[in-house]
Amino acid sequence: MYIKLTNGIVYDPVHGINGEHRDIYINDGHITRKPSSNAKIDKIYDLKGKVIMAGAIDIHTHIGGGKVNIARMMLPEDHATDLVEKTELTRSGCGYAAPSTLTAGYRYAEMGYTACFEPAMLPANARQAHMEMADTPMVDKGAYAMLGSDDFFLRMLASKKDQAAISDYVGWTINATQAMGIKVVNPGGISAFKFNQRKLDLDELNQYYGVSPRDIIKSLARAVTELGIPHPLHLHGCNLGVPGNLNTTLETIRAVEGMRMHLTHIQFHSYGTEGDKKFSSGAAEIAEAVNKNPNISIDVGQILFGQTVTASGDSMMQYAGHWHAHPKKWVIMDIECDAGCGVVPFKYRDKNFVNALQWAIGLEIFLLIDDPWRVFLTTDHPNGAPFTSYPHLIRLLMDKSFRNDMLSTINKEAAAASTLGSIDREYSLYEIAIMTRAAPAKSLGLKNRGHLGSGAVADITVYSNNKDKEKMFSKPDYVFKNGELIVRNGKIIKVVNGATHTLRPEYDNSIEKSLKRYFDDYQTVSLGNFKIDDDEIIEHGNGKIIIQPCM
Nearest CA-CA partner of 396 in 364, 438, 374 = 364
Q: Which is nearer to another protein, 4 or 127 (CB)?
A: 127
Burial class (CB in 10 A: 0-12, 13-18, 19+), 266: buried
If the CB atoms of residues 94 and 420 are measured against another protein, the closer one turns out to be: 94
In whole angstroms, the minimum distance from the beta carbon of 80 to another protein comes to 9
DSSP annotation of 36:
P
Least separation, in Å, of the C-beta of 368 and another protein? 38
Residues 265, 301 contacting (CB under 8 angstroms): yes
Q: ∠ CA(346), CA(283), CA(274), 5° rounding?
A: 80
* Least separation in angstroms between CB 166 and another protein: 18
AA identity, residue 48: K
Nearest residue (CB) to another protein, 92 versus 454: 92
Contacts for 28 with CB less than 8 Å, ≥ 6 apart:
1, 483
Q: Measured over all CA atoms, what is the biggest interatomic distance in the chain, rounded to whole angstroms?
A: 73
DSSP annotation of 426: -
Least distance from another protein to the Cβ atom of residue 539, Å: 8
Compute CA distances 521 → 158, 160, 209, whole Å. Answer: 18, 21, 19
Helix boundaries (H) for 342-389 = 353-368
Q: Please give the Cα distance from 349 to 355 (Å, whole number).
A: 6
- List interacting residues with another protein (CB under 8 A): 64, 66, 68-70, 72-76, 79, 83-86, 91-94, 98-103, 122, 124-125, 127-128, 131-132, 135, 151, 155, 193-196, 208, 319, 325, 328-338, 343, 521-526, 528-529, 533, 535-536, 539-540
Nearer to another protein, 424 or 535 (CB): 535
Nearest distance from C-beta of residue 334 to another protein, angstroms? 5
Q: How far is CA 501 from CA 115, 334, 460, in A?
A: 10, 28, 18
Cα–Cα dist 222/121, whole Å: 20
Q: Which one, 66 or 362, has the nearer CB to another protein?
A: 66
What is the smallest separation between the CB atom of 524 and another protein, expressed in angstroms?
4
Residue placing its CB nearer to another protein in the complex, 74 or 397: 74
Least distance in Å: CB of 131 to another protein? 6
CA distance linking residue 91 with residue 404, whole number of Å = 40
93 vs 498, beta carbon nearer another protein: 93
Query: Which of residues 100 and 308 has its CB atom nearest to another protein in the complex?
Result: 100
Q: How far is the CB of 510 from another protein (least distance, A)?
A: 20
For another protein, give the closer residue by CB, 119 or 272. Answer: 119
Contact 237, 188 (CB under 8 A): no
State the minimum distance, in angstroms, from the CB of residue 540 to another protein.
6
| Nearer of residues 92 and 409 to another protein, judged by Cβ | 92
State how far the alpha carbon of 136 is from the alpha carbons of 104, 141, 292, 389, 499, in Å.
7, 9, 38, 19, 10
Long-range contacts, 467-470 (Cβ 8 Å, 24+): 468/395, 469/391, 469/394, 469/395, 469/398, 469/399, 470/391, 470/392, 470/394, 470/395
- The 10 Å CB-count burial string (b at 16+, else e) for 99-123 is bbbbbbbbbbbbbbbbbbbbbbbbb
Closest approach, Cβ 497 to another protein, in A, equals 13
